[in-house]
Amino acid sequence: MKDNSVLIHCCCAHCTAYTVDYWRRQGYEITAFWYNPNIHPFTEHQHRLEAMRSLAKEFKFPLIINERYDMIEYFNRVVGHEDRRCRYCFQIRLEKTAETALKNGFSSFASSLLISPHQKHDMLLEIGNTIAEKKGIDFLNADLRKHYSDSRRMTKPLGLYRQQYCGCIYSEWERFAGEKQ
* Binding residues vs ligand SF4 (CB under 6 A): 38, 85-86, 89, 166-168, 170-171
CB of 118: closest distance to ligand SF4 in angstroms? Answer: 8
In the complex with ligand SF4, which residue's Cβ is closer, 56 or 89? 89
Quote the least distance from Cβ 17 to ligand SF4, whole Å. 19
Q: Euclidean distance between the first and final Cα of the chain, in Å?
A: 43
Q: Which helix (H) or strand (E) holds 17?
A: helix 13-25
> What residues are paired with 110 via a beta bridge?
8
Closer CB to ligand SF4, 44 or 58, in the complex: 44
Beta strands in 99-158 (DSSP E): 108-111, 138-139
Count Cβ atoms below 10 Å from residue 51 Cβ, excluding itself: 21
Main-chain dihedrals φ then ψ at residue 8, nearest 5 degrees: -105, 115
Q: Shortest gap between Cβ of 137 and ligand SF4 (angstroms)?
A: 22
Q: Which is nearer to ligand SF4, 32 or 86 (CB)?
A: 86
CB of 19 to ligand SF4, least distance (A): 16
